[in-house]
Structure 1
Amino acid sequence: MKAKLGALVAAALVAAPFAANAQVTPMPGFYIGAMGGVNFLHMPTLGSTKEKTGFAVGGVAGYDFVGPRVELEFLYRQNKAKGVGKNMYQYAPMVNVLYDFMPDSMVTPYLGIGAGVNIWEYAWVSTADFAMQGIAGLSLRMTDGFFANLDYRFMNTFAKGKDFQNHTVLVTLGYKFGPPAPAAPPPPPPGATPAQYIVFFDFDRATLTAQAMTTIRQAAEAAKAGNKARIGVTGHTDRSGGDAYNMALSLRRANAVKDALVREGIPASGITVVGRGESQPLVPTADGVREPQNRRVEIVLQ
């Protein structure tokens, strides 16, 4: 049993470095998934001290806040006690709180903790007891919303005088429902000329410099003075780095400018944020070239 668990974990660790540098655009949203795997049951106080290997299947639904996640899980576990000839059936609804350490990476490690009820049946005994679990795993995220998780869960059931544990290795296949793509800002009325401001960034950074803040304040003052109800904020990158990474970086830059505009008194509801990645360079360059003028966010007042 331990060899099987080790092989699964080793496979994930071997695959992780190949995707560690790949990037996805982190977005909050609801997700669902189906789970299945192997379960090792340790229950020395319930009649047998031998290892009992079984299976686990279930489902999960949750919400990803980009980093923290909260989810509702239901798992069914079944194990047969060696030498006793009886099956242990477990039905465990749990609430989990997890944290993804690299939410903008295609492969991210995560840790979590959960609590709930374990309803178990064994040797003509059926009861429900409080249970807690710890979770450690790796998640592989695809840009189309699909994901696959490999994790280990240690669950302790606090049965009255007869605590027992489950060691579960699970594979989860799921889908995350991201928010709809932001609509492009509507065209200005005929005869109106939109005002445009450009904020530049350092290489591979989304932090605002002093010069960038000066430009943002000018745009905010112009918007308030001209009663501009709509502001378009579009992020761009140069052509160094991968497409997926640059798309995420352009969004971080655009959101940094939006947050600064809000602090300057512009309502967030009137700001539209769009990321273009490296697709619309201000200065055309070959792929891989670091061009300072392409690392920018454009602010358009309409």
Structure 2
Amino acid sequence: MRKLAAAVALASTALATPALARDDSWYVGVGGGVMIVEDMDLDIATFNNAATLDHKTGYDFEGVVGYDFGGFRAEVEVGYREADIKAGRVNTPGIPGSANGTGNLITGNFPMNGDSNALSFMVNGMLDFGDDDGLQGFVGGGVGVARVDVAPVLAGPWLDDSDTGFAWQAIAGVRAPLTRNWDVGLKYRFFNASNLDLVDQRGRDVSTRFRSHSILGTLTYNFGGAEPVPPPPPDGPYPPERAPRRAPEPARYRLRASRH
């Protein structure tokens, strides 16, 4: 029974080991998934909401490097997201109807192609909660910069420009250990890049913003912190069969015999 109890204690320690490698350690991770872009309203010249771009479902990828302080994580992230444009709605005469961008300005609803994409560099902070030895949740956000490129095509690419500016995001998700060093997770991200100033083919100012919602699957490698100290066996610091033997007491009666 003593050997069985010691084996159970060691096994419980091994099961808890994967999560212990997260704290006080560096980690790297990758993620990817699907993305939905909110309709992009375009202010063209002096006309507010002159046009709106509707997108197909796109994709979102990321790579992160961070440090886990325990209940809080800090990380840097590089992300890229892209979605094809499927349609446009023009509320005021604002889109050229010819391929070279010099035709008459038209209004209405039109199928379109082209795409919108954003390359971002962010600094994130995450708060972790839940049991370290199983499913764990986290919430957080980040700030940084993003280069957003918008290129809708009707008869031609009437807008094909990019702008770089401030971006922020909100993040929530769950993760769980696969092994001592590997975690898998599921993450939701809301990404926002506002105040984008573009120029169309006619030289007019076009203002808009890029907002997206993403669901990402993640894979993280933890480099590992301090090794956990295993608990002593139930019966003390030594197994019964390896306990040190007590030295025999000196034979005082021999000393007494030698005096006679």
Q: TM-score range by the shorter chain?
A: 0.5 to 0.7
Q: 1:194-217 CA distances to partner (integer Å, 9 max, x unpaired)? A: xxxxxxxxxxxxxxxxxxxxxxxx
Q: Which has the higher strand share?
A: 2
Structure-2 separation of matches of 1:88 and 1:51: 8
Structure-2 separation of matches of 1:77 and 1:164: 11
Give the 5 Å matches for 1:108-257: 108-123=136-151, 124-160=160-196, 161-179=207-225, 181=227
Q: 1:230-286 CA distances to partner (integer Å, 9 max, x unpaired)? A: xxxxxxxxxxxxxxxxxxxxx6xxxxxxxxxxxxxxxxxxxxxxx213x622269xx
The alpha carbon displacement at 1:78 in A equals 1.1
The alpha carbon displacement at 1:168 in A equals 0.9
- State the TM-score, normalizing by the size of structure 1: 0.52
Structure-2 separation of matches of 1:176 and 1:156: 29
Aligned: 1:281 with 2:234: yes
Q: Which has the higher helix share?
A: 1
Structure-2 separation of matches of 1:126 and 1:89: 9
The alpha carbon displacement at 1:89 in A equals 1.9
- State the TM-score, normalizing by the size of structure 2: 0.60
Q: Provide the residue aligned with 1:63 in structure 2.
A: 67
Contact 2:147 2:164 in 1 (8 A): yes
RMSD (Å), alpha carbons: 2.1
Q: 1:146 to 1:54 in 2, by over 3 A?
A: same
Moved more, 22-31 or 108-117: 22-31
Contact 1:43 1:163 in 2 (8 A): no
Matched residue pairs, number?
A: 170
Aligned: 1:52 with 2:88: no
Structure-1 separation of matches of 2:133 and 2:194: 37
Higher relative contact order (CA 8 A, sep 6+): 2
The alpha carbon displacement at 1:81 in A equals 0.9
Q: Provide the residue aligned with 1:42 in structure 2.
A: 38
Bigger Rg, which one: 2
Query: What is the letter of the counterpart of residue 147 of structure 1?
Result: D
How high is the sequence identity, in percent, across the aligned residues? 33
Note the residue ranges of structure 1 that are not aligned, 5 or more in a row.
1-21, 182-250, 252-274, 285-302
